[in-house]
Amino acid sequence: MDGENIMLDSGMASDFDDDFAPFVYENDPTLPEDRYLDRELSWLAFNQRVLELAEDPDVPILERANFLAIFASNLDEFFMVRVAGLKRRILTGLAVPTNVGRAPLDVLADVSDKAHELQARHARAYQDSVKPTLADAGIEIVSWESLDDADRVQMREIFSRRIFPVLMPLAVDPAHPFPYISGLSLNLSVRVRHPKTGKEQFARLKVPQMLPRFMRIDQRESVDQMRFIMLEDLIANHLGDLFPGMEVLDHHIFRVTRNEDVEVDEDETENLLQALEKELLRRRFGPPIRLEVTDDMDEVTLGLLVRELDVSEQEVYRLPAPLDLGGLFDLSKIDRPDLHYPTHVPTTAAALMAREPNAKPDVFAAVARRDVLLHHPYESFATSVQAFLEQAAADPNVLAIKQTLYRTSGDSPIVEALIDAAESGKQVLALVEIKARFDEQNNISWARKLEKAGVHVVYGLVGLKTHCKLALVIRNEPGGLRHYSHIGTGNYNPKTSRVYEDLGLLTADDQVGKDLTRLFNELSGYAIEKKFKRLLVAPLHLRKGLLKRIQVETQNAQEGLPSGIRIKLNSIVDEAIIDALYRASNAGVTVDLWVRGICGLRPGVPGLSENIRVRSILGRYLEHSRIFSFVNNGDPQVYIGSADMMHRNLDRRVETLVRLTDPGQIRELDALVDQAFDENVSAWSLDSDGVWSRHSKDEAGHPLVDLQNRLMQQITHRPRTGSRR
């Protein structure tokens, strides 16, 4: 999995998104009070599942290193957003109870205990398993002490030429106040002594983030035999060059995590873009919420850091070196195919292939024939969604393109297609969500570039994030104007499309096109549209629509009619949805939940949820699609879209689900969920106490089926002509 700006999309949100949503759920007194699982601890359980992949000896070793990096990156974001939110609520007195009715102070204590446990386990996985296994495979991470004289000469030369010039030692004394420590930076604390006066002093040295974390030793070694030294180790062994004439007494590594949430009062600002840019500057100076130090740090140095950074004992994490294993992202990219997952090349969706040999594929002609359901990354994003938008930009018959952009890549062909379309005279509307967390600056840059090209850029509705994944093309055809639509579960990002599992619908259905036209008018203008034919749209009626469908299943079960609910999503916390599923279970409805991350529902509780099963699947691809399927007395109602069952998705975001109508597509998604719940497929199961248990081997100790590998094989070997649907 590519580590560049790609995390396991952990579903973070500020607690103001969650706790002050306009929807107020009236508690169901007929259900037990302890029926929910804590969302913060459930998220940590998700990251523990990531860690279990890093610990798994059956996973290729460079992929294990990558999972260690993903765990570290995920946890950083958890602290910057969720832990920061808990602290802010405690400090400001806005101590609204959490989703399980507990005080934030108590939850913060539990989160801290679990985070300490997981970070220690993470460090052990690296030291005791991943690092030695890498060495066995010919990739050694060595210390300065282990280098021979020739190696040291080489590395001293590298230090002098490439590292020393960019280092900036900062003294701390009456003339030099304690320096600002930027969030997530790696730092050396250094104690030095003046040889004449004997006075001891403290200095801080930042490890440059623009340099490789793992420095290659002896470039002449083959790709099968590589040695690396960590950048901070190399710097630490050349401190004499940085403090000439001083006696270097000691040094230690530390790292600070800060509150990096961003808040903009949209009702009080005239220019959202400028207000957000100011907030992004303030983000750098958020208060510290975690201090990581190496476990050999002396008490004097630690005391200085704790005092100057104003952190509590609970916020200090003592860990063995190295800190910040997110640096393993770089190491995991080493070109050793034998140490990675087998290469899987996405295939072009059968329905989008040219019908005649040597003919050029025509996305519009294919979609005009019938709806096309796409499944990435098994099916190529480049030859489907990207090709759809590029063809639209180049087609003289296309009059207008409307699209939402939540997150996209830094070198985006999607954005370039929109620019080309605008420059060729087409009407182009881009709804750029500049509040997409940690992508704000990228999206601001893209918004300005689009505006300069003549694209109509809007930022959505005040108070709401636009999270839906929509594209609408208006094309002039012999019979009149025709709508071509794409509704997806994932972002218009070619880079993440290779590692995120997502679904998308390409359709020329006139009703979907009219629905999207009205929705885009609402997003860009002042329309208030409350009725759609094939869409469920948040925040107005997505929750209500799903509750209605769950209630239908409940009534059908009570009347002895066919019923069943199957949902695949990233996270489920919303109390109204969970309680509706509990009532459905009590009525006899079988409920299957395929949840990647947070799950606030307790399955398998007698008298409450004995008909509910919860599974989770993690692997080389990030399970990111959302499916909502209802048996409906034999007339299945199946939706895909962008929404999770979280307060923020249902109340504070514009989200869209589209109902599928093609029986073949409905059967395909049903078969997909069947496989996820197959006892021969490797997965985690959730029990009523909130404990996830991994089932990865059969009784004989043989590995169970990897669902993602199976799907890749199934889709790769589909017939190469015609449509499967």
Active site residue ranges: 467
The residues facing 488 across adjacent strands are 469, 504
Pair of tokens at residue 545: 């629509």
Strands 170-172 and 200-206, bridge-based pairing: antiparallel
Dist CA 407 CA 432 (whole Å): 9
Q: For tokens 């190496």, what's the residue? A: 294
C-beta separation of 610 from 585 below 8 A: yes
**Helix, strand, coil distribution of the chain in percent, nearest 5:** 40, 20, 40
H or E stretch covering 133: helix 131-136
Dist CA 487 CA 693 (whole Å): 34
The 10 Å Cβ neighbour count of residue 628 is 25
Pair of tokens at residue 360: 């050029």
Our CA dihedral for 304, 307, 313, 316, rounded to 10 degrees, sits at -60
Kindly give, in sequence order, each residue whose CB lies less than 8 Å from that of residue 244, ignoring residues fewer than 6 positions away. none
Which DSSP category does 490 fall into? S
What stretches of 167-286 show up as alpha helix (H) in DSSP? Answer: 231-236, 239-242, 272-283
CA-wise closest residue to 599 among 36, 10, 32, 7:
36
Which DSSP category does 599 fall into? B
Strands 427-432 and 398-405, bridge-based pairing: parallel
Q: Which contacts (CB < 8 Å, 24+ apart) does range 521-530 have?
A: 522/461, 523/404, 523/431, 523/458, 523/460, 523/461, 523/466, 523/654, 524/429, 524/431, 524/456, 524/458
The 10 Å Cβ neighbour count of residue 391 is 18
Q: Which residue type, as a one-letter code, is found at position 657?
A: L
CA-wise closest residue to 13 among 602, 438, 489:
438
CA-wise closest residue to 321 among 184, 123, 141:
123
| 670 burial level (CB within 10 Å; 0-12, 13-18, 19+) | middle
Dist CA 658 CA 542 (whole Å): 11
DSSP three-state, residue 347: strand
Dist CA 284 CA 269 (whole Å): 21
* Strand segments (E) across 66-178: 139-142, 170-172
